[in-house]
Amino acid sequence: MKRYRAILAPATLALFAGSFMVPAALKAADSPEITSLLAEAKAKAVALKSDAADMDMFTRSTSNWQTYGIQLSAIREHVNNSGKLLTKLKSAEASGSPWQQTAIKRIEPLLKEMADNTTTTIKYLNNNPGKVHLPEFRDYVKANYELATELDALIGDFVNFGSAEEKYKNLGSKLEVSR
């Protein structure tokens, strides 16, 4: 039994250490198309969050239903544009690196929830234009703001990760050249 452990321990250690030394060429490369689309999605998420924040601010004012309607139209436009961008991301997903594929998979349900909530908020406003200062409407608006904030943070984190990974790869290639 001791002999078995003596052989197994170094083999396990070598396998474990080897997993950290996988050549960069064997790792899946990032898709430049997805990187670009994620950067575009980040910009759209920032605009969406800004509009949702403005609308949330309206709930603490005496804004009328028309003001909400205008703001909801802007939010709906951002959500629709983000949905079109998600379609492009989904089309390119198979060519992406693992982290890019994960990003797309995590963005999709959050964006769908944002779209559903925006639609519900619009329907509420259309059916109850005189009730924009009631708690129910405020809750829809707050949920939209929270979802937009979460979407912005999620996409931002993935974009930042991609940038950091690219810097790391560049540093690694510089070290290999200098050897």
Residue 111, burial from CB neighbour count under 10 angstroms (0-12, 13-18, 19+): buried
- Residue with the bigger pLDDT between 47 and 21: it is 47
Whether residue 125 contacts residue 72, with contact meaning beta carbons closer than 8 Å, is answered with yes
pLDDT for the residue numbered 168: 84
Quote the pLDDT of residue 7.
Answer: 44
Residue-level pLDDT at 13: 42
Q: Which domain holds residue 114?
A: 45-178
Q: What angle do CA 80, 81, 86 make, to 5 degrees?
A: 95
Q: How would residue 118 be classed by pLDDT, with cut points 50, 70 and 90?
A: very high
- Report the pLDDT averaged over residues 60-88: 92
Indicate if the pLDDT at residue 100 is higher than 90: yes
Is the per-residue pLDDT at 158 higher than 60? Answer: yes
Give helix 32-58 / helix 135-178 axis angle, nearest 10°: 150
Residue 25 included in any domain: no
Separation CA 37–CA 156 (nearest Å): 12
Is residue 19 situated within a structural domain? no
**Does residue 16 register a pLDDT over 50?**
no
| Predicted pLDDT of residue 177 | 61
Q: Is residue 9 part of a domain?
A: no
What per-residue confidence (pLDDT) applies to 56? Answer: 92
Domain assignment present for residue 76? The answer is: yes
Pairwise CA distance, residues 40 & 60, whole Å: 31
CB-CB contact of 92 with 37 (8 Å): yes
52 assigned to some structural domain: yes
Q: What is the pTM of this model?
A: 0.77
Q: What is the pLDDT of residue 105?
A: 96
DSSP code, position 154:
H
Can you list the positions of beta strands (E) in 29-148? none
Residue 20 in domain: no
Number of folded domains that form the chain: 1
Is 98 inside a domain boundary?
A: yes
Residue 95 lies in a domain: yes
pLDDT tier at 173 (50, 70, 90 boundaries)?
A: low
9 pLDDT above the threshold of 50: no
Predicted local distance difference test score (pLDDT) of residue 175: 64
Local structure of 37: helix, strand or coil: helix
Q: What is the pLDDT of residue 8?
A: 40
Average model confidence (pLDDT) across the chain: 84
Through-space distance between the first and last CA atoms of the chain, rounded to whole angstroms: 43
